[in-house]
Amino acid sequence: MQISRLVPANLVPFKRDMQVAFQKGAEEEFGPLDVEILPESHIDRSLATPGAVAFQAVLSGELIGGAIVVLDVEKRRGELHFLYVKDGVQNRGVGQALWRAVEAAFPETDVWETCTPYFEKRDIHFYINRLGFAAVEFYNPRHQAPRFSNDEAEEDGDAPKLGGDYFFRFEKRTK
């Protein structure tokens, strides 16, 4: 498996495969859904964020996973926006290899952060037990996640909020 920065030729399958992986994950919990879980606009917004870097995992010429991280070099912090493994390729170490490559690419990053919905049991297991993150905050109606801007809140109207406002925030301290 080769892990590298995302090449433009793989952008379309990268987004499509990520959407399929997120859709299947939600449908495992809630059954068939007639809504799109991860709109392309959310991936595009992440890719356009200042400090964003996208990675791809390729095996035998086939794209099998990817990640998008956003770095704040001055604060020595990074955010994992998305990490996915292509449907049908899970449980083969792809996600762990992707994350190891991300950390190796940015050894100056002291703290990594990510969030995931409470119902994503696979993600919670993966972040805590496989990658070494710790759950540091639980967002819910009585402890809401911070809003970043009115524009972003309005754009979020294009995706369903499965499970409401229940999210875990994870951190991994590397130093």
Per-residue model confidence as pLDDT tens digits over 22-70: 999 889 888 999 989 899 999 999 999 999 999 999 999 999 999 999 9
Of the candidates 63, 57, 54, which has an alpha carbon nearest to the alpha carbon of residue 81?
54
Cα angle vertex 25, ends 90, 83, to 5°?
Answer: 60
* Alpha-carbon Rg for the chain in angstroms: 16
More confident residue, 50 or 156: 50
**Please, what is the average pLDDT of the chain?**
90
Residue 89 carries which side chain, given as an amino acid letter?
Answer: V
Give residue 163's pLDDT. 59
Report helix, strand or coil for 150: helix
Per-residue model confidence as pLDDT tens digits over 72-123: 999 999 999 999 999 999 889 999 999 999 999 999 999 999 999 888 888 9
Residue 168 has pLDDT above 60, yes or no: yes
- Ordered domains of the chain (ranges, CATH): 2-173 (3.40.630.30)
State pTM to two decimals.
Answer: 0.90
How many CA atoms lie less than 13 Å away from 37 in the CB half-sphere?
23
Give residue 144's pLDDT. 84
Per-residue model confidence as pLDDT tens digits over 120-155: 888 999 999 999 999 999 988 888 887 643 344 444
